[in-house]
């Protein structure tokens, strides 16, 4: 079976958009992650708000440490978005071809998005775990990707996989809301546009707003699971201690039930939403930027892929003639 060029174009543009948005917002992501994991420091609240993390980096002359783990996070984001967009686009096209429908319904969209997200989570889970540990390490003490993963077992690299699979509902909700709103806007614009005019597309600002709205809805609904995942994957605050007993004791608390009990006991029900404002700020901006960039480069990516395909076909024909 030949390569699905349309799905490849969607995957490539989505991955590039993710790479750029992740790099732009990475310092905010680091502050947000450290703030969410703060409860693990023996019940003491080190950071009262998100800005405390930023000022700690500034006051200790560790501003560049806000970028610790950027390479790993970018690798994770690129692979994640490529696999997700390719799977989502491919399964969506396959569903439409097999069903004969002209458009995809909300329920089918959710199932397709969740399936693509589940496959993606399994593939990138070790990178996700490593990037979380690198971000939550003390400023200036983050280790490289391979050293971070080598310190634990294979099962440690997949910490939080169960919650990651549960969180596939997050992008499923996000992209479903985005697609449905996008289709309605494009239909409305198509009716207003003159016949024979250029194809109707979303403006960058409109794509940004739709991305922000769709991600806000998804984040609010799934946030308790998001915070549990961060706490499970966070670096050991006593990372420099060689005491194996301390390490073993800390590891025993890195379970879903342990984290849930810890949040409930120390912070109450509101603790499950601690850092929600920081999460929304970061994820909304990131996803909105991703979708905005993707909308603008999809056409260019499609042209480049067609040009590359034509070049390869011409080259193959010349070689056969020789």
Output the pTM of the full model: 0.70
235-264 as b/e: b if 16+ CB within 10 A: bbbebeeeeeeebeebeeebebeebeebbe
pLDDT digits (tens, 9 = 90+) for 233-284: 887 765 545 544 444 444 554 788 888 888 888 888 888 888 888 888 887 7
pLDDT the model gives residue 67: 92
Contact (CB, 8 A) for 66 and 26? yes
Task: Please name the residues in contact with 78: beta carbons below 8 A apart, sequence gap of 6 or more.
Answer: 15, 18, 19
Please tell me which residue, 251 or 291, carries the higher pLDDT value. Answer: 291
Upper half-sphere CA count for residue 282 (Cβ side, 13 Å): 19
pLDDT digits 0-9 by tens, 294-319: 777 777 777 787 787 787 777 776 66
Going by C-alpha positions, the residue among 149, 16, 148 that lies closest to residue 80 is 16
Rg for the chain, CA atoms, rounded: 22
């Amino acid at each position: 079976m030949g390569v699905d060029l349309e799905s490849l174009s969607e995957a490539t543009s989505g991955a590039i958009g993710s790479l750029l948005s992740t790099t732009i917002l990475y310092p905010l992501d680091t502050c947000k992650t450290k703030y969410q994991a703060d409860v693990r420091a023996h019940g003491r609240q080190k950071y009262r708000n998100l800005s405390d993390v930023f000022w700690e980096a500034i006051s200790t002359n560790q501003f560049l440490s806000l970028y610790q783990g950027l390479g790993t996070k970018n690798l994770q984001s690129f692979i994640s978005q490529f696999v997700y967009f390719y799977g989502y686009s491919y399964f969506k096209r396959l569903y439409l071809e097999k069903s004969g429908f002209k458009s995809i319904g909300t329920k089918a969209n959710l199932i397709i998005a969740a399936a693509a997200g589940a496959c993606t989570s399994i593939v990138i889970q070790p990178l996700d775990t490593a990037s979380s540990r690198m971000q939550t390490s003390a400023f200036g003490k983050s280790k490289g990707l391979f050293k971070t993963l080598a310190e634990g077992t294979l099962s440690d690299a997949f910490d939080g996989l169960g919650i990651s699979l549960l969180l596939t509902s997050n992008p499923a909700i996000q992209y479903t809301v985005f697609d449905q709103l996008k289709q309605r806007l494009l239909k409305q614009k198509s009716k207003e546009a003159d016949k024979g005019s250029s194809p109707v597309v979303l403006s960058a600002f409109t794509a940004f707003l739709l991305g922000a709205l769709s991600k806000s809805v998804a984040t609010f609904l799934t946030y308790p699971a998001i915070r549990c995942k961060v706490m499970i994957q966070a670096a050991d605050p006593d990372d420099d201690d060689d005491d194996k007993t301390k390490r073993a004791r800390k590891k025993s608390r890195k379970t879903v039930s342990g984290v849930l009990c810890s949040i409930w006991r120390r912070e109450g029900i509101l603790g499950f939403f601690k850092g929600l404002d920081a999460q929304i700020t970061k994820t909304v901006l990131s996803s909105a930027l991703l979708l905005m960039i993707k909308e603008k480069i999809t056409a260019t990516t499609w042209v480049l892929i067609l040009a590359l395909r034509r070049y390869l076909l011409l080259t193959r024909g010349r070689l056969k003639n020789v």
